Structure 1
């Protein structure tokens, strides 16, 4: 597995991630690591005909999560090379199948992309967690969810209940919580008393119209082996479950 770090910056996390990854998997194409100056740059993978590209900020590359972030992106690259349905399915096709004839808020349409990304992450992390420990990933998921439910405003909501997750859209926060717990349960990373359950409960209370348990089940029970038709239907069903509603076409 060929790793090429572009520009000045740490190389050890990427080489360490490669060593872990190669215990079970390999990539046919070389990986070019592009270190970005912007500390807010999201870590993400791109795919060309002759290479994969891992984009990551220098700050993230120097963090305690650097190896785990790289390993996660290597797993996405592996799924891409496998032509796995989660990484080849057109979301535009899914939205057309799921939402034709319905009126949908742009906010919720953007959330549909997040739901699809969660499913891609489930399949990528099936690889990630088969070769590396899950403690740091679990701590990362817990930290991100805690940030979303931490701030409590003084003003009650219309129902007279205090909003528990004002820093993020409460509806997608519930889905994010369902994803975090689903991944943790899928790989036996948590016990029944883990704090992640309390955080997820707080998020779910803030958006009771979103089926937290339903989404957790959808993510956790994604088939280990799937084909394009099955995966497309799973994603269509999840999109309809989240958006709901009826009426005119999405806008």
Structure 2
């Protein structure tokens, strides 16, 4: 693997390269550009000869830097493999799922996030086989706890100047986290993440946490374009049609 780092620490990315190439490889050159913008944690683009990873300095210097690099290398590998999760048009599948339906902007944005979760499942299938997952589990637990703590439970006394977590997508994120750790046998049944997920499910009972966990956990490992498109359409439609005040089928 040919990895070049610009504007930041090279060690996390070169260390990730050394781990990744014990079982995987990338044919195209990888350029890592570290940027000051903390709001853009990671972004990957591709051309015919290379991959470009843009990452914030905050992420590049965090305790999760090596794991983030491994995750993004795995996305690059899936792209080079022509994996359906990374070649299927997300827009096409979402609009197919939502044809003839009126969907609020908030939910449409969440549908794209759900599609990214599905890509992440397939990327994580690659790198979790070559490196320990302890930091990933801690990260998922921390992110879920933070989101749940930020979900508004009472009418605000005044105007809030910072955004709150949306309970609907928080429940889906909890489903994704559980699906990922169960898919790779990363935690025991009594892990605190399960308690957090129950709270998230209670905050959005109409979403159906176990339904979405099943969608993510059972994604076929050897999928084809048609099967993947159907899975993406199904999960998108499931989320978009869930109505507040109505319990989703579990």
TM over 0.5: yes
Question: Contact (CA 8 Å) 1:149, 1:167: kept in 2 or not?
Answer: no
Question: Contact (CA 8 Å) 1:148, 1:168: kept in 2 or not?
Answer: yes
Determine the structure 2 residue equivalent to 1:140: 139
Per-residue deviation, 1:106: 1.1
Determine the structure 2 residue equivalent to 1:42: 41
Q: 1:194 aligns with which of 187, 191, 196?
A: 191
Per-residue deviation, 1:154: 6.8
User: Aligned in 2, Cα 1:5/1:201: closer, same or farther, shift over 3 Å?
Assistant: same
Determine the structure 2 residue equivalent to 1:214: 211
User: Aligned in 2, Cα 1:148/1:230: closer, same or farther, shift over 3 Å?
Assistant: same
Per-residue deviation, 1:99: 1.3
User: Aligned in 2, Cα 1:77/1:204: closer, same or farther, shift over 3 Å?
Assistant: same
What is the CA deviation profile of residues 66-105 of structure 1, one whole-angstrom value per residue up to 9, with x for unaligned ones? 1000000000000000110001111221122211111111
Name stretches of at least 5 consecutive residues in structure 1 with no aligned partner. Answer: 158-165, 247-251
Report the secondary structure of 1:131's partner residue.
Answer: coil
Per-residue deviation, 1:59: 2.1
Question: Contact (CA 8 Å) 2:151, 2:167: kept in 1 or not?
Answer: no
Determine the structure 2 residue equivalent to 1:179: 176
User: Aligned in 2, Cα 1:152/1:179: closer, same or farther, shift over 3 Å?
Assistant: closer
Report the secondary structure of 2:129's partner residue.
Answer: helix
What is the CA deviation profile of residues 176-216 of structure 1, one whole-angstrom value per residue up to 9, with x for unaligned ones? 00000100000001111101001111011001100110100
Determine the structure 2 residue equivalent to 1:6: 6
What is the CA deviation profile of residues 127-151 of structure 1, one whole-angstrom value per residue up to 9, with x for unaligned ones? 1101111100111111110100124
Cα distance in structure 1, aligned partners of 2:10 and 2:242: 49
CA RMSD of aligned residues (A): 1.7
Determine the structure 2 residue equivalent to 1:162: none
Cα distance in structure 2, aligned partners of 1:183 and 1:115: 13
TM-score, scaled to structure 1: 0.90
Question: Contact (CA 8 Å) 1:45, 1:55: kept in 2 or not?
Answer: yes
* Pair 1:56 & 2:58 matched: no
Name stretches of at least 5 consecutive residues in structure 2 with no aligned partner. Answer: 157-162, 244-250
Per-residue deviation, 1:107: 0.8
Determine the structure 1 residue equivalent to 2:159: none
User: Aligned in 2, Cα 1:81/1:153: closer, same or farther, shift over 3 Å?
Assistant: closer
TM-score, scaled to structure 2: 0.91
Question: Contact (CA 8 Å) 1:89, 1:228: kept in 2 or not?
Answer: yes
Number of residue pairs the alignment of both structures matches:
237
Per-residue deviation, 1:39: 2.5
User: Aligned in 2, Cα 1:245/1:67: closer, same or farther, shift over 3 Å?
Assistant: closer
Report the secondary structure of 1:27's partner residue.
Answer: coil
After TM superposition, what 4+ stretches of structure 1 lie above 3 angstroms from structure 2? 151-154
User: Aligned in 2, Cα 1:105/1:145: closer, same or farther, shift over 3 Å?
Assistant: same
Cα distance in structure 2, aligned partners of 1:121 and 1:139: 17
